[in-house]
Amino acid sequence: MRKKEVTFKEISEYTGFSKTTVSRYFNDPDSLTLENQQKIADALEVLGYKENKVARMLASGKTEFIGVIVPNLFLNYYSEILNKLLSTYEKYGYKFLVFAGNEQPETERKYISELLAYKIEGMIILSHTISSEELASYGVPVVSIEREDKYICSVNSDNFNGGEQAAQMLSDCGCDVLIHINSDVPPEIPAHKRITGFKEFCRQNNIANEVLLVDWSGVFSENVVKTEETINYLDEKYPDKRKGIFLSNDNTAANFLNCLVRKHSCLPDDYRMVGFDNSSVSAEAIIPISTIEQQIDKIAGEAMEILVMQMNEQKKRRPVPLKEPVHKIVPTVAIPRDTTKNREITKQK
């Protein structure tokens, strides 16, 4: 069985105080005289007391748990976000119960009910599997990051402006036609705005453009083939034009660049490229790739801020729920590197 723990009872017997006073030593030490504080401190030391937050949680109703559901952790984006979330422990003191979702609604629902059973005070959801309507119905403060968020609070990058910035960078380095390569992301996902932002910029500036929707869901080697086919397609369709390629993330961008370099031993002058995310692959590619940064630390920070606000509200005697979900937009940052350099062209002025 379990080893008997040293509890407030032993401390109170040893010091002659009541359990209540011992409890106060932890939660409101100033209400004891300095002398008595010391007595209790000594007793804790002598008896080897270890605090028990499980009992504290049950009695106080506060767990300081936040549940997190990420789709996975092998994609850099998710693990970086989780990294930043965990590091907010120093600021807020919340502990994180983490699940890696597996895209199946049934199991993710199981994860959520497990989290609720542990009386988490809030949830941060990056997984796309469960609808925001259902998430809102669980009666726990929720913040989502870069996913469908109609009925819940959320933090997203400014994807629309990100798309514009990418098109701007490509346009600025003299591209004749802008190509956006993405997967067929549904319109309710925030990342879809990268497409609309890109298109809108082209429309307003009268720039020839094309959006290519590719299914990247296969294994890497298949994606290489698809990329090579895409390059052949572009070379044929736009032989004399400088092509500005905006890829939906830095991994596909690095792959696209590698395919180009394998074909031409360099980034040919009729190509310019911009990725998205500013994940480490972009800076560490064979040619450093220009990209649009998602400010992951700010995204994580804002998510916590919105969540903490809601959780604090819940702790009041008469919590007033939000009338409308809060949707926070974090700016993206254009990171120019070598794939959008103006090389041969002379600036016309």
Partner DNA sequence: TTGTACGCGTTATCAA
Partner DNA sequence: TTGATAACGCGTACAA
Residues engaged in binding its own copies (CB under 8 A)? 1-2, 50-55, 57-58, 61, 63, 72-74, 76, 79-80, 82-83, 86-87, 89-90, 95-100, 102, 107, 111, 114, 116-119, 220, 251, 254-255, 258, 261-262, 265-266, 280-281, 283-286, 317
Please tell me whether residue 59 binds DNA under the rule CB under 7 A: yes
CB of 2 or CB of 347, closer to DNA: 2
Q: Residues near 278 by Cβ (< 8 Å), separated by ≥ 6?
A: 250, 291, 292, 293, 294, 333, 335
Interface residue with DNA, options 42, 51, 229, 269 (CB under 7 A): 51
* Integer Cα distance of 91 and 260 in angstroms: 45
CB of 64 or CB of 305, closer to DNA: 64
Partner in contact with 320, chosen from DNA, its own copies, none, beta carbon below 5 to 8 Å by kind: none
Partner in contact with 233, chosen from its own copies, DNA, none, beta carbon below 5 to 8 Å by kind: none
DSSP result, 220-252:
HHHHHHHHHHHHHHHHHHSTTSPEEEEESSHHH
Partner in contact with 216, chosen from its own copies, DNA, none, beta carbon below 5 to 8 Å by kind: none
* Integer Cα distance of 283 and 277 in angstroms: 11
Partner in contact with 284, chosen from its own copies, DNA, none, beta carbon below 5 to 8 Å by kind: its own copies
Segment (H or E) for 9: helix 8-15
CB of 48 or CB of 321, closer to DNA: 48
* Integer Cα distance of 194 and 196 in angstroms: 6
> Residue 343 half-sphere exposure, CB side, CA atoms within 13 Å?
12
Q: Which residue is it, tokens 């008997």?
A: 4
Q: Tell the smallest beta-carbon distance from residue 118 to DNA (Å).
A: 12
Partner in contact with 96, chosen from its own copies, DNA, none, beta carbon below 5 to 8 Å by kind: its own copies
Please tell me whether residue 118 binds DNA under the rule CB under 7 A: no
Partner in contact with 27, chosen from its own copies, DNA, none, beta carbon below 5 to 8 Å by kind: DNA
For residue 160, the SS3 value is helix
**Residues between 15 and 34 with contacts to DNA, criterion CB under 7 A:** 16-21, 23-24, 26-27, 30-33
Q: Is the dihedral of CA 153, 159, 162, 168 positive or negative?
A: negative
* Amino acid sitting at position 137: S
Give Cα separations from 281 to 133, 177, 250, 264 (angstroms): 35, 26, 7, 21
Q: How many residues bind DNA (CB under 7 A)?
A: 31
Q: Tell the smallest beta-carbon distance from residue 1 to its own copies (Å).
A: 5
Q: Tell the smallest beta-carbon distance from residue 217 to its own copies (Å).
A: 16
